A and B are shown apart, each in its own frame.
Chain A
């Protein structure tokens, strides 16, 4: 009887062995996801596991983070290898600096801009356009659109009466 039990134990052990040694792909995927989620930089990484080979993809902030994602998944017990398909985020576009017209070209541009508004006068100093005179509320928008398109530093319209 003891021998039979021992035999059963050996057989059971033999069958149990592979499932103990190799976790299922789904289990590995869950473990890999947990490893990625523990690092806030890696939460955008997606992982798929097939035959214990993990494939990671998605956009991360930089190349170092790509490597970190790969290491995190590789460290999961049971993952044989990692195919790294992540990509670094493109660098942010540089913000164009503010362009301010020089006073002489600004003066010319402002003269053109107020030409159709004979009740308005303008002066230019240090990039600041100062508007004076009076204008109807309807014309104000058109005037301001034209004046602000001349790339001034500032438009001072406190002396402009809106009727």
Chain B
């Protein structure tokens, strides 16, 4: 329970920001927080609170897996730091690159192969798999 108290401000913020399917569990000295954030901004806000409570995320006592919820068929924005986003033939960095999407480009989410890799289509019609952490829903 001690970890829940340590990260209570984070859980409170997630509730206040409307994170859905929020699950908070403590197991073997690690707190696991999962859920779906209404936007990428909410996800970032939670990570900033995480960093305030645990500077540099260094304690290793929290797994925060709250990602922005994007609907199938909706438009998503590429949020790479500065490079292009690789679009690959299959879900994995070992898969050949079949296309690229620029930072801030808006592309279509076709389906979710899994939590980490989403199938996408660019406006040029390039289709393949992209790393989900580099995509966020358009508010």
Which residues of A pack against B, CB within 8 Å?
Answer: 95-98, 108-109, 111-113, 115-116, 137, 139-142, 144-146, 148-158, 162
Contacts and interface: CB of A to CB of B under 8 A. Distances in A.
**Range of interface residues on B (Cβ < 8 Å):** 20 to 34
Given A95-B25, A112-B93, A149 B116 contact: yes
A112 B131 CA distance: 8
Nearest to B115: A149
Contacts of B27: 98
Interface in B32-70: 32, 34, 43, 47, 51, 56-58, 60-61, 63-65, 67
Main secondary structure of the interface of A (DSSP, over half): mixed
Given A111-B93, A149-B116, A156 B23 contact: no
B81 A144 contact: no
Interface of B: 21, 23, 25, 27-28, 30, 32, 34, 43, 47, 51, 56-58, 60-61, 63-65, 67, 80-81, 83, 92-93, 115-116, 131-133
A153 B93 contact: no
29 contacts: A95-B23, A95-B25, A97-B25, A98-B27, A108-B92, A112-B116, A116-B81, A116-B83, A137-B56, A139-B81, A140-B57, A145-B43, A146-B131, A146-B133, A148-B63, A148-B64, A148-B65, A149-B115, A150-B116, A151-B63, A151-B115, A153-B63, A154-B30, A154-B60, A155-B57, A155-B60, A155-B63, A157-B57, A162-B56
